Structure 1
Amino acid sequence: MAQSKLDPNERSLTEQFSRSGFILTAIGSAVGLGNMWKFPYITGKYGGAAFFLLFTICLLVVGLPVLLAELSIGRGGRGNAYSSFVKLSGSKRWGALGFLSVIAAFLIMTFYSVVAGWTLHYAAMSFSGSLFSSTDYTKQFLDFAGGFWPVFWQTVVVLLNIWIVARGISGGIEKFNKILIPGLLILLIILMARSLTLPGAMQGVEFFLKPDFSKLSAESALVALGHAFFSLSLGMGIMITYGSYIDKRQSLGAATMAVGAGDLLYALVAGLIIFPTSFSFGIEPSQGAGLVFMALPAAFAAMPLGAFFGGLFFILLAIAALTSSVSILEVPVAYAMDKWNWTRSKATWIVALATFVLGVPSALSVGGVLGDVTIIDGKNIMDSADFLASNILLPLGGLIVTLFVGYKWSAAVQEAGMTPMWLRLWIIVLRYVAPVLVVAILLYTAGALKWIGIGE
C-alpha cells in the first residue's frame, strides 16, 4: 500500500507486524541460500556434529544477544537503520554509522537477486526435464551463467520483490512469508524424507552428525561464530528495520528465541538433505555453489522421479532466496521513505530498479562478457561485491550495534523487557564479549589473522 512519510512513531503505527507474522518474516529473512550450500560444507569440514554444537553455542551466546539488540534499537527508535540511531542517541554521527547497514543491504541486493534468479532458472529447467538433457552439468551451468539469461531471471526476481514490498508490511511482506514459510517447511520435510531413504544415505547422516572434536580449532570457532552471526541476518539493518514494525506489547526476548530456533532447525534439516544425497551418489559435499548447480543435478538425474524432486529442491532454494531478498530490499526502501518523503510504492520501485541496474554487471561477471573484470584481490565483480558486504560492512554493522546498546543507549534495558538477571547478562555480553568476537570475525574474514596461522 502507498505510504507517505510521517513521524517515525506514526509510520510504525501505520504498518505493523502481527506477532506470528513478525516471527515468520524474521525466520524467512534468516533462511537464505547460504545455509543450503555453505552450512553443510563448513559443518563437514570443521568436525560434523562437533561443529554444529559449536555453531549452536555461538548462536546462543553471541547471535541472539545481538539480534535482541537490533530489534530493541528498531522498536525503540521507530525508524529505519539510520533514523533509529539518530533518535536514540541524539547524534547524527551514530546515524552515519547506522547508515552503513543501509549501504550493506543495498549492495547485497545487487548480487543476491542474481543468484536468486539462478534458482528460478534451475527450477524451471528441472520441472521441464531440460536440465537433464545433458550429463555435463558443469558446462551447462557455465553456458547459462556466461550468457544473458541471468539478467532475465534477475529481472524476474526484482519484479517479484517490488510486487511484495510495495504492498506494505501486513499486506505484502507478512502475507508473503505467512504463505511461503509453511510451504518451505513442507518442502524441507519432503526432501529430507526422500534424502534419508536413498541408498547409502546413513553414511551422509553419520558424516554430518558424528562429532569429530579433533577438527575443532580457533579457525573453526571463528567460522562457527561468523556463520551464527550472518545466518540471523545481523549487521545489515534488517532486524533494526523490522523492529520498528513490532508492537510494543510483543516480547522481544520470546521473538528472539523463536527466530533462533527456526534458524537452527533449518540448518539441521538442510544438512539432512545435502549430506545423504551427496553420499548416496558419491558427490563431494564441499563445492559450495558448485554443489548446488553442478553436482546435485547429477544426483537428481540418477534418482527415480529426479526431475520432480530436483524441481522441488530448486523451488525450495528460490523460496529461501525470495524470503531473504524481500527483507534485504526493505532496509533501503524504509530509509528512502523516511529520508525523502517518498510513498512506499515510489521508494520500492526506485530502490529496486537501482539495485537491478547496479546488479547487471554482477550477473554478467560469472563467465559472461564481464568475466575478465576484477576489482578486489583478483575477484570478479560479483565476488568483490560479496566480499565487501559480507566480510567488511556486515561485521562493522554488528560491531556498531553492540557498542551502541552496550555503552551509549542506556534505555535499551527497558526496551528489551527481560528479567534483571538476563538483562545484566545481556549487557555484559554486548559490552565485553560480542565486540571482541565480532572484531575477530572481521579480522578473520578479511584475512588479517593469517600471520598467526588462522585462515591459511
Structure 2
Amino acid sequence: MSEQYQSASQQGDGKGAGERFSSSGFILAAIGSAVGLGNMWKFPYITGLYGGAAFFLLFIICLLVVGLPVLLAELAVGRGGRGNASTSLIRLSGNRLWGGFGFITILGAFVILSFYAVVAGWTIHYAVLSFTGKLFEHNDYAALFTGFIGGWMPLLWQFIVMFLTGFIIIRGVSAGIERFNKVLIPGLVILLLVLAVRALTLEGAGEGVSFFLRPDFSELTAESALVALGHAFFSLSLGMGAMMTYGAYVDKRQSLGLATLAIGAGDLIYAFLAGLIIFPTTFVFGLEASQGPGLVFVALPAAFSAMPLGSLFGGLFFVLLAFAALTSTVSLLEVPVAFVREAFGWSRKFSVVLLTVLCFLLGVPSALSLGNKVPALTFGGKPFFDWMDFVCSNIILPLGGLVVTLFVGYAWKGASEEAGLSPWWFRLWLFMLRYIAPILVLLVVLYSAGIITL
C-alpha cells in the first residue's frame, strides 16, 4: 500500500461516526443523487427525438461502457481520499494542481443547484395546484406556465426547496442525508409504479409502449450515439463532485463494484419506468414527447385533465418529480458544504446556512430571467437560466468527468486497492478509463459546444 494511500485512509478514519453511511443508506443516497428531473423530461425528449427503443438500447450500452467505469472511479477517489472532491485528489496524488481541477466539480455542483432549485420549486407548485384541482380550472396550460415563471412566485418555491435541502443537510450524513433517502427513495419507487400502471392501462397505451420498447435501428445516427453517451454520463451525476463526496462517507467494507452496479441499475430502472409513464400517456392523448419542460408543465397537465381522477394522478406525478428533485438537491448541496468545512474548519450548521443563502441568491437571476420578467437578464438571446445550464452541462461537468478519468487512469497508483476488483476486471476498468472514456467524453464536449457537428 502506498504511503499516500495509507495517509489518506488514516485521515479518513478520524472522521466521526456521524459522517458515515450505512451500506444500504449509501446506495439509496447515491441512487437518489443519480435520479432526477432530467430522466423524467429530458430522457423522453431525447428518446423520442433520436430513435425511440433503439436509442434506449444505445443508452444502456453507453451506461455500461462509460457511465459505470467513471462512476466507480469517482466513488473510489472519494473513499480513498476521505475528503471533499478537491482534497481527495490532493491526498491521493500529493499534487495541489489536481485539487484545483477537483474544485471545478465543486463549483459546478453549486451553480447547478442554484438553477436546479428553481425548477424543483415549479414541481412543488404544480403538485399543490393539481391536488387542489386549481390546475385543471385552466384551458390554456401554456399561458398558465408562462405566466407563472414570468412572475415572482417562483422565488417563493425556490426558497422552499433550498430551505428543505438545507434542513436535511444540516442534520448530517446518517441522520440527515441517509434517513431522508431511506424514506424518499421507496416512496419514489411506489409513485413510479402507481403512475406506470395508470399509464399502461389507458386505452391505446400499447402504441406508446411499442415505440419505447420495439427498436428500429434504422433511426440511429452518429448524433444519436453522442446524445446517448452524454445522457448516460450526466444521468449518473458524474462530473459534479457528488459521487466523490458520497464516496468519502462509505465504509471500507462496502464493495464499490457491487455498489456501482446497484446505482447503475437504480438509474436504469428509473429511466425505464419514466418511459412507461411518459410514452403511453403522450401517445394516447396525441402529445409530442419531444417538448422538454413544456411536456411536463404544459402538455401533461392537459392529459391529466382528461383522465378519470386526473387531479390525483397529476398531483402524484408532480410529487414524484419533487421527490426526484429533492434527492438531487441534497447531494448537490453536500458537495460545497464538505469543501468549506474542510477548507475553513467551519461547523456543519454554519456551512449549510451560509451556502444555502448564497445558492438561493445566485438562483434569483435564473428564476427572474424566464418569462421576460427582467429583460436585463437575457444575454445573446438566452436568459440567465439557460446560460447557467449551458456552462455547467457543456463545460464544467464534462471537464470534471475528464479530470477523474485521467486521474484514476494515469496519476493514482492506489486505484486497484480501493476499487477492490479482480485483476481481470481491474485491467478492463483501467483500459476504459485510459483510452475509451476520455475520448468519448471529449467528443460529447466538442459536440455539445458546437465545435463538431454531425
TM-score category (smaller protein): over 0.9
Partner of 1:409 in structure 2?
Answer: 412
Q: Pick one of 374, 380, 391 that aligns with 2:378.
A: 374
Alpha-carbon distance in structure 1 between the residues aligned to 2:326 and 2:377: 28
Q: Pick one of 359, 363, 366 that aligns with 2:367.
A: 363
Alpha-carbon distance in structure 2 between the residues aligned to 1:245 and 1:373: 39
Alpha-carbon distance in structure 2 between the residues aligned to 1:47 and 1:131: 33
Structure 2 counterparts to residues 139-288 of structure 1, below 5 A: 139-288=143-292
Q: Pick one of 427, 430, 439 that aligns with 1:427.
A: 430
Aligned partner of 2:433: which letter? L
Deviation at 1:11, TM superposition (A): 2.5
Structure 2 counterparts to residues 77-88 of structure 1, below 5 A: 77-88=81-92
CA shift digits 1:313-356 (9 cap, x unpaired): 00000000000010011000100110111111111110111000
Alpha-carbon distance in structure 1 between the residues aligned to 2:155 and 2:377: 17
Partner of 2:108 in structure 1?
Answer: 104
Alpha-carbon distance in structure 2 between the residues aligned to 1:373 and 1:390: 20
- For the pair 1:343 / 2:350, whether they are aligned, the reply is no
Alpha-carbon distance in structure 1 between the residues aligned to 2:282 and 2:91: 50
Q: Pick one of 40, 43, 52 that aligns with 2:47.
A: 43
Aligned partner of 1:406: which letter? G
Alpha-carbon distance in structure 2 between the residues aligned to 1:13 and 1:84: 19
CA shift digits 1:258-306 (9 cap, x unpaired): 0000011000000000011111111111100000001100000010000
Partner of 1:400 in structure 2?
Answer: 403
The answer to whether the Cα contact below 8 Å between 2:18 and 2:175 also exists between their aligned partners in 1 is no
Alpha-carbon distance in structure 2 between the residues aligned to 1:218 and 1:239: 29
The answer to whether the Cα contact below 8 Å between 1:25 and 1:173 also exists between their aligned partners in 2 is yes
Question: SS state of the match for residue 11, structure 1?
Answer: coil
Alpha-carbon distance in structure 1 between the residues aligned to 2:48 and 2:160: 34
The answer to whether the Cα contact below 8 Å between 1:145 and 1:368 also exists between their aligned partners in 2 is no
Aligned partner of 1:115: which letter? V
The answer to whether the Cα contact below 8 Å between 1:12 and 1:244 also exists between their aligned partners in 2 is no
Alpha-carbon distance in structure 1 between the residues aligned to 2:85 and 2:113: 16
The answer to whether the Cα contact below 8 Å between 1:192 and 1:269 also exists between their aligned partners in 2 is yes
Alpha-carbon distance in structure 1 between the residues aligned to 2:160 and 2:239: 27
Structure 2 counterparts to residues 48-87 of structure 1, below 5 A: 48-87=52-91
- 47-56 or 166-175: which moved more? 47-56
Deviation at 1:42, TM superposition (A): 1.1
Partner of 2:321 in structure 1?
Answer: 317
Alpha-carbon distance in structure 2 between the residues aligned to 1:117 and 1:199: 32
Partner of 1:444 in structure 2?
Answer: 447
Alpha-carbon distance in structure 2 between the residues aligned to 1:145 and 1:418: 49
Alpha-carbon distance in structure 2 between the residues aligned to 1:105 and 1:165: 15
Alpha-carbon distance in structure 1 between the residues aligned to 2:416 and 2:36: 30
Alpha-carbon distance in structure 1 between the residues aligned to 2:372 and 2:119: 14
The answer to whether the Cα contact below 8 Å between 1:29 and 1:324 also exists between their aligned partners in 2 is yes
Deviation at 1:372, TM superposition (A): 5.2
The answer to whether the Cα contact below 8 Å between 1:333 and 1:347 also exists between their aligned partners in 2 is yes
Deviation at 1:206, TM superposition (A): 1.0
What is the percent sequence identity of the aligned residues? 63
Alpha-carbon distance in structure 2 between the residues aligned to 1:368 and 1:25: 37
Q: Pick one of 371, 382, 387 that aligns with 2:390.
A: 387
Q: Pick one of 348, 354, 369 that aligns with 2:358.
A: 354
The answer to whether the Cα contact below 8 Å between 1:107 and 1:385 also exists between their aligned partners in 2 is yes
The answer to whether the Cα contact below 8 Å between 2:11 and 2:82 also exists between their aligned partners in 1 is no
Alpha-carbon distance in structure 2 between the residues aligned to 1:9 and 1:353: 31
Aligned partner of 1:28: which letter? G
Q: Show structure 1 runs of 5+ residues with no match.
A: 1-5
Deviation at 1:8, TM superposition (A): 4.7
Deviation at 1:371, TM superposition (A): 4.4
Alpha-carbon distance in structure 1 between the residues aligned to 2:133 and 2:433: 51
Partner of 2:119 in structure 1?
Answer: 115
Question: SS state of the match for residue 72, structure 2?
Answer: helix
Change in CA separation of 1:83 and 1:9 when aligned onto 2, cut-off 3 Å: farther
- For the pair 1:300 / 2:326, whether they are aligned, the reply is no
Alpha-carbon distance in structure 2 between the residues aligned to 1:121 and 1:94: 41
Partner of 1:3 in structure 2?
Answer: none
Q: How many residue pairs get matched?
A: 445
Alpha-carbon distance in structure 1 between the residues aligned to 2:220 and 2:299: 27
TM-score for the superposition, normalised by structure 1: 0.96
Q: Show structure 2 runs of 5+ residues with no match.
A: 1-9
Q: Pick one of 400, 417, 421 that aligns with 1:418.
A: 421
Aligned partner of 1:347: which letter? S
Question: SS state of the match for residue 311, structure 2?
Answer: helix
The answer to whether the Cα contact below 8 Å between 1:12 and 1:78 also exists between their aligned partners in 2 is no
- 186-195 or 49-58: which moved more? 49-58
Deviation at 1:415, TM superposition (A): 0.4
Deviation at 1:370, TM superposition (A): 2.1
Deviation at 1:80, TM superposition (A): 0.1
Aligned partner of 2:28: which letter? L
Change in CA separation of 1:173 and 1:331 when aligned onto 2, cut-off 3 Å: same
